Amino acid sequence: MKTWLFKSEPESYSWDDLVRDGRTCWEGVRNYQARNLLRDEVAEGDLVLLYHSQVQPQVIAGIARVVRAAYPDHFAWDPASRYHDPKAGPDNPTWVMVDIAPVRALDPPITRDELKEVPALADMMLLRRGSRLSIQPVAPVEWDAVLALREGREP
DNA sequence: GCCAACGTTGGC
DNA sequence: GCCAACGTTGGC
């Protein structure tokens, strides 16, 4: 079982939206490095930190689980989709998505500032300057260090 | 709103 | 294949 961090802008899709929906397809990844991780590494059963960027404060809002491994992202060939890619089609899917479901919220959400205080997270990809990857691997020690911030708040 | 850091595009 | 121009991301 691997662990990941997925970024989203809550304005387009938030943790609360995921809780409301119960499950969602994580569509719209249009970066090859992120696509390769989704396609080749992310597996059903993996756990995911859901991170909110482009808001103040930036936070990890909750933990989700991958409930379906990578399959073609058909939004890529939907002209009405904001993620439309004219080069993709059913014969050339190009992009993939996975399905995730909420496991539990982090209450309160863990802020970026809080993460920066943790020595074990000094090398975390999320905290590195210029880090834009929207699908990031999280090392086991990093995962443990993040969850330790909400120890005693298990559901 | 600014700007650094990338990623992509396209002329050559 | 190079690289400048451009677009996007995302923290601040």
Which residue's C-alpha is at the least distance from the C1' of B5? A130
Domains defined along chain A, listed by start = 3-151 (3.10.590.10)
Gyration radius of chain A's alpha carbons: 15
Identify the pLDDT of residue A29: 96
Average pLDDT over residues A115-122: 96
Strand C closer than 7 A to residue A52 Cβ: no
Confidence of residue A30 (pLDDT cuts 50, 70, 90): very high
Chain B footprint bases within 7 A of protein beta carbons: 4-8
Identity of the residue numbered A14:
S
Question: Which chain C positions come under 7 Å from a protein C-beta?
Answer: 8-12
Alpha-carbon span A83 to A65, nearest angstrom: 23
A133: nearest nucleotide, CA–C1' criterion: C9
Q: Which residue is nearest to nucleotide C10 (CA to C1')?
A: A54
Q: Is the CB of A54 under 7 A from strand B?
A: no
Q: What's the pLDDT tens digit per position in A54-87?
A: 999 999 999 999 999 999 999 999 888 888 888 8
A51 nearest nt, CA–C1': C10
